[in-house]
């Protein structure tokens, strides 16, 4: 058993989200460049951004979807994440468990080997994962997978422009755009990715921090009169592909 298979990364923080039109997003990005840098994973050909691909799990009753829509204060969901649209074995793949405890968001993740992806696509094979991985993320995925009858449901792609603080390593801002979704049972489907766009002309800004937002950024929020919203790319994907309906 390799250390890689056992290692779990843990994140605990607050996440505030804002929906901006593209013009406001660009203005804010220009302002925060005085205080923040791009993180080290950007691609120049994507305009100092990178692609994010997530395959989300849910069940036939869309339990995770409705827990999010209903604002359940203790909830969790699973996704497979890659930073490539191709199964080229060069980009890392993660199993991520993301959830909320009261007002704080947590994310636990472990690295997944490319050759093991098929085990995540069928409930009948979940237990095989224990032959390769021994960590709490995999164990909880198997438990929740059997309990809730989870299976892959929706694939979501978007372009992320990420900023990290020069003064506080725990303060991070990301701008997510070009959000598109597809019903899928795999992370790298063979057929062409049929585009179903969400929020065209708008950007989701996510503000991530441990304790407080710095004063300089709080002034930016006031200048543009921004208000937090409850929004989820998982929910957008499920709704846009007609896998669930937001009745709120």
Domains contained in the chain, CATH given: 3-240 (3.20.100.30)
Residue-wise pLDDT tens digits, 89-130: 888 999 999 998 877 899 999 999 999 999 999 999 999 999
Cβ-proximal residues to 28 (8 Å cutoff; 6+ apart), any chain: 20, 205, 220, 224
- Mapped onto helix, strand or coil, the DSSP state of residue 27 is helix
Residue-wise pLDDT tens digits, 177-191: 999 999 999 999 986
Angle, CA of 81, 210 and 65, to the nearest 5°: 40
Cα(179)–Cα(163) distance, integer angstroms: 19
Phi and psi at 103, nearest 5°, equal -100, -5
User: Are 55 and 159 spatial neighbours (Cβ–Cβ below 8 Å)?
Assistant: no
How large is the C-alpha radius of gyration of the chain?
A: 18
Cβ-proximal residues to 16 (8 Å cutoff; 6+ apart), any chain: 206, 207, 213, 228
Quick one: 213 exposed, middle or buried, by C-beta within 10 A (0-12, 13-18, 19+)? middle
Residue-wise pLDDT tens digits, 26-78: 999 999 999 999 987 788 888 899 999 999 999 999 999 999 999 888 899 99
Output the six-digit token pair for 247.
């009745």
What's the pTM? 0.94
């Amino acid at each position: 058993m390799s250390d890689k298979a056992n290692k779990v990364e843990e994140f605990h923080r607050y996440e505030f989200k804002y929906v901006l039109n593209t013009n406001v997003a660009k203005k804010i990005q220009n302002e925060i460049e005085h205080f923040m840098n791009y993180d080290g994973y950007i691609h120049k050909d994507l305009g100092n951004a990178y692609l994010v691909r997530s395959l989300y799990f849910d069940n036939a009753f869309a339990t995770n979807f409705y827990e999010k829509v209903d604002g359940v204060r203790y909830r969790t969901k699973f996704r497979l994440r890659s930073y490539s649209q191709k199964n080229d074995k060069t980009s890392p793949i993660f199993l991520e468990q993301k959830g909320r405890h009261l007002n704080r968001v947590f994310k636990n993740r472990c690295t997944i080997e490319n050759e093991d992806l098929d085990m995540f696509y069928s409930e009948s094979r979940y237990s095989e994962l224990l032959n390769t991985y021994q960590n709490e993320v995999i164990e909880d995925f198997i438990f929740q997978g059997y309990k809730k009858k989870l299976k892959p449901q929706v694939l979501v792609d978007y372009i992320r422009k990420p900023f990290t603080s020069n003064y506080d390593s725990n303060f991070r801002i990301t701008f997510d755009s070009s959000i598109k979704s597809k019903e899928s049972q795999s992370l790298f489907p063979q057929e062409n990715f049929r585009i179903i766009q969400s929020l065209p002309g708008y950007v989701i800004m996510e503000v991530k921090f441990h304790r407080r937002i710095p004063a300089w950024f709080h002034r930016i929020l006031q200048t543009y009169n921004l208000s937090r919203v409850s929004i989820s790319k998982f929910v957008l994907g499920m709704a846009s592909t007609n896998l669930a309906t937001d009745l709120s």
